C-alpha cells in the first residue's frame, strides 16, 4: 500500500487554484526580507510561475504527493541566502521528510552556515533535493554532500537517470521539456533546465518514500544507485548518450484530413500565411515560429477544431517537433477519447 508523502517546495510560491494542482496543495507560507529582518506570512501566491511549474513536475511523477509551498523567491526569481537559511531552519522540527529546492548560491564563501543547516536537516531525517545552477559546474546547496544535487540533460531514454552518491552532483536526470502548469490554469513547455530535473527526481523519491516511509538518506542513495542506468560518467559520456527527436516524416499522407486540419489549426494559432512551409520545416524553426510559450495556444486551437481535450501534463516537446508529430498527438487523443466514451 502506498502512503501519501508530504513535500516542501521552496520556490516562487504556487497557484493553489490550478485545476491540475489544487488537490495536492496542502498549504504554504512566504519568507521575505523587510529591511533588516526576515518576516514570514501566509501569502504564497506565485507571481512568477516557476514554482507552479515545478509543482506540476513533481506531481507528474507521483500523483499522491502533498505539496507545502514555501515562497522564498520574489516575482523576479530572486532571494538572498538569509531568507533561504531561515526558511530551511523553520522545517527542522516540522513533519516533512522531503524538501525541493530549485535555487542556488554561487559563491562558496557565503555558504558555511547554509551547509550547517542542511546537515541538521539531514540529521533529522530530511531529504533535500536541489538543482544545480544552470550553466555552472558547482553551486550550493546542490553541491553539498548532505543534499542530493541534480543536473538535467537529454539522456538515452526519458525515463532514465544516472546516479552516483560519490559525485558532487549525484544525479543526471533526463529533462525533455513537458507542458507544465502556469498560474491562471494555463500551461507552457518547461524544461531543458535543472529545475525540471530536480522536480522530476523529487517526485520519484516521493514515490519511493510512499512505499518505504522509513528510508534513510543513506539507503535512498544506495537504492537510487541501483536503479540508475549509470553510476559513473564523464562529460563525453553525456554527449554520446544524447538522443535526438523523431520528426516522424511521412507518417501521414499529405492529403490526410487529420494532417490538413492540424496544419490549419497551427497556421491560425501562429497567424501564418498559407504559403508558409509548415510541412517542410520543424515547428520550432524561425520560419514557423512555435515557442515554448505559445504551444498552449496551439493546443487550445486544436481542441476547438477536433472537439478533444488534451492531457496537458503528458505532452512533451517531442510532440511539437513537426506537423507530423503534432498530428500523431491529435490522432492518439482522438482514438483514446473514442475508446473511452
Question: What pLDDT score was predicted for residue 185?
Answer: 95
Q: Name the residue with higher pLDDT: 79 or 114.
A: 114
Question: What pLDDT score was predicted for residue 268?
Answer: 94
Q: By CB neighbour count within 10 A (0-12 exposed, 13-18 middle, 19+ buried), where does 119 fall?
A: middle
In 3D space, the residue among 227, 223, 238 whose CA is nearest the CA of residue 156 turns out to be 238
Answer yes or no: are the C-beta atoms of 277 and 287 closer than 8 Å: yes
In the chain the first and final C-alpha atoms are separated, in Å, by 31
C-alpha cell recorded at residue 94: 516540522
Q: Check: CATH 1.10.1200.10 for 257-339? A: yes
**Per-residue pLDDT at 109 exceeds 80:** no
Percentage of residues in the chain with pLDDT exceeding 70?
Answer: 98
**φ, ψ of residue 297 in degrees (nearest 5):** -65, -40
Question: What pLDDT score was predicted for residue 168?
Answer: 95
C-alpha cell recorded at residue 17: 487554484
> What does the pLDDT look like over 293-331, one tens digit per residue?
999 999 999 999 999 999 999 999 999 999 999 999 999
Q: How many CB atoms lie within 10 A of CB 307?
A: 8
Question: What pLDDT score was predicted for residue 275?
Answer: 61
Residues of the chain with CATH 3.40.50.200: 5-241
* Domain 5-241: assigned CATH number: 3.40.50.200
What does the pLDDT average to over 67-84? Answer: 94
Question: What pLDDT score was predicted for residue 258?
Answer: 96
Least confident interval from 57-61, 99-103, 277-281, 328-332: 277-281
User: Mean pLDDT score of the chain, rounded to an integer?
Assistant: 94
Buried/exposed code over 263-296 (b: 16+ C-beta within 10 A; e: otherwise): bbbbbebbebeeebebeeebbbeeebebebeebb
Confidence of residue 99 (pLDDT cuts 50, 70, 90): very high
Which residues have a Cβ under 8 Å from the Cβ of 340 and sit 6 or more positions away? none
Query: 73 in helix, strand or coil?
Result: coil
Residues of the chain with CATH 1.10.1200.10: 257-339
pTM of the model: 0.94
Q: What is the DSSP string of 221-240?
A: HHHHHHHSSBS---HHHHHH
Query: 117 in helix, strand or coil?
Result: helix
> What does the pLDDT look like over 194-228, one tens digit per residue?
999 999 999 999 999 999 999 999 999 999 999 99
Work out whether the CA dihedral 333, 329, 153, 16 comes out positive or negative. Answer: negative
> What does the pLDDT look like over 239-273, one tens digit per residue?
898 898 999 998 999 899 999 999 999 999 999 98
In 3D space, the residue among 243, 318, 331, 239 whose CA is nearest the CA of residue 282 turns out to be 318
What does the pLDDT average to over 161-177? Answer: 96
Answer yes or no: are the C-beta atoms of 131 and 148 closer than 8 Å: no
Question: What pLDDT score was predicted for residue 293?
Answer: 92
Amino acid at each position: 500500500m502506498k502512503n501519501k508523502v508530504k513535500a516542501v517546495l521552496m520556490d516562487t510560491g504556487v497557484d493553489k487554484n490550478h485545476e491540475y494542482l489544487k488537490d495536492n496543495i496542502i498549504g504554504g507560507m512566504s519568507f521575505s526580507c523587510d529591511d533588516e529582518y526576515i518576516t514570514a506570512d501566509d501569502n504564497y501566491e506565485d507571481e512568477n510561475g516557476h514554482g507552479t511549474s515545478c509543482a506540476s513536475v513533481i506531481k507528474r511523477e507521483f500523483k499522491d504527493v502533498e505539496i507545502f509551498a514555501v515562497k522564498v523567491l520574489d516575482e523576479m526569481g530572486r532571494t538572498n541566502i538569509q531568507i533561504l537559511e531561515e526558511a530551511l531552519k523553520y522545517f527542522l522540527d516540522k513533519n516533512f521528510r522531503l524538501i525541493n529546492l530549485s535555487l542556488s548560491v554561487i559563491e562558496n564563501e557565503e555558504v558555511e552556515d547554509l551547509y550547517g543547516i542542511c546537515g541538521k536537516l539531514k540529521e533529522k531525517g530530511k531529504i533535500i533535493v536541489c538543482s544545480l545552477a544552470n550553466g555552472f559546474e558547482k553551486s550550493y546547496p546542490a553541491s553539498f554532500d548532505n543534499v542530493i544535487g541534480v543536473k538535467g540533460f537529454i539522456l538515452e531514454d526519458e525515463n532514465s537517470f544516472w546516479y552516483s552518491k560519490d559525485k558532487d552532483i549525484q544525479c543526471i536526470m533526463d529533462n525533455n521539456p513537458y507542458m507544465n502548469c502556469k498560474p491562471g490554469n494555463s500551461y507552457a513547455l518547461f524544461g531543458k533546465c535543472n529545475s525540471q530535473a530536480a522536480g522530476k527526481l523529487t517526485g520519484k523519491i516521493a514515490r519511493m518514500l510512499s512505499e518505504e516511509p522509513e528510508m534513510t538518506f543513506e539507503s535512498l542513495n544506495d537504492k537510487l544507485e541501483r536503479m540508475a542506468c549509470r553510476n559513473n560518467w564523464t562529460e563525453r559520456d553525456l554527449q554520446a548518450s544524447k538522443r535526438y527527436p523523431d520528426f516522424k516524416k511521412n507518417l501521414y499522407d499529405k492529403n490526410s484530413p487529420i494532417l490538413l486540419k492540424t496544419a490549419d489549426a497551427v497556421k491560425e494559432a501562429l497567424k501564418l500565411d498559407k504559403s508558409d512551409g509548415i510541412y517542410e520545416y520543424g515547428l520550432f524553426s524561425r520560419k514557423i515560429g512555435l515557442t515554448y510559450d505559445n504551444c498552449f495556444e496551439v493546443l487550445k486551437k486544436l481542441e476547438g477544431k477536433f472537439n478533444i481535450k488534451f492531457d496537458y501534463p503528458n505532452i512533451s516537446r517531442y510532440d511539437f517537433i513537426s506537423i507530423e508529430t503534432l498530428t500523431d498527438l491529435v490522432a492518439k487523443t482522438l482514438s483514446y477519447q473514442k475508446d473511452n466514451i
